Amino acid sequence: MGAHNVVWWELESPNPAGSQEFYGQLFGWTFHRAFDEPGSELGRDYWIVEHNGRGIGGLQAALPDAATPQAGVRLYVEVSNLEATLEHAARLGATVERARVFLGSDDFWFANVRDPQGMSFGLWTANPRKDS
């Protein structure tokens, strides 16, 4: 493995069932329980996040009374139609924090969303605006 490769990401959610429902409906991700066998030292509920049958990240139950992070690393998910995805996320209970933002000469756009559990993530596209 080379240095500085991103090898895994996790959502730490105060409501894992709500996160599974939201991200499953928004991106088609599926979730399966993991690390709950005897001898595991994790100590919290955990699920592998899958897309097209491949593990792409993890979902972990937040510690009780954990504050929602306001600073830290933000996950960006590539989408083909940014506006349609923003509308779908809003219908599922998310809040759009920033609508489409142009990054300049690279011809990329992004948006930021806060899911119903209070976690912020980004959407990323190389596609110009599409009316949904």
Spans of all domains in the chain: 8-63, 74-132
- Tens of pLDDT, residues 58-81: 999 888 887 766 666 788 999 999
Q: Which helix H or strand E contains 21, and what residues bound it?
A: helix 16-27
Instruction: Characterize 6-34 residue by residue with b for buried, 16 or more Cβ atoms within 10 angstroms of its Cβ, and e for exposed.
Output: eeeeebbbbbbeebbebbeebbebebeeb
Whether residue 2 is predicted with pLDDT greater than 60 in this model: the reply is no
The DSSP string of 69-113 is PSSS---EEE-S-HHHHHHHHHHTT-EEEEEEEE-STT--EEEEE
- Confidence category of residue 107, pLDDT binned at 50, 70, 90: confident
Tokens of 131: 């009316």
Amino acid at position 129, single letter: R
Q: Output the pTM of the full model.
A: 0.82
Give mean pLDDT, residues 85-111.
88
pLDDT of res. 15: 92
Domain 8-63 belongs to what topology?
Answer: 2,3-Dihydroxybiphenyl 1,2-Dioxygenase; domain 1 (3.10.180)
Strand partners, 46: 60
Per DSSP, the three-state class of 117 is coil
74-132 matches 8-63 in CATH topology: yes
Class of domain 74-132: alpha beta
* pLDDT tens column, 11-28: 889 899 999 999 999 999
pLDDT on residue 132: 47
3-state secondary structure of 10: strand
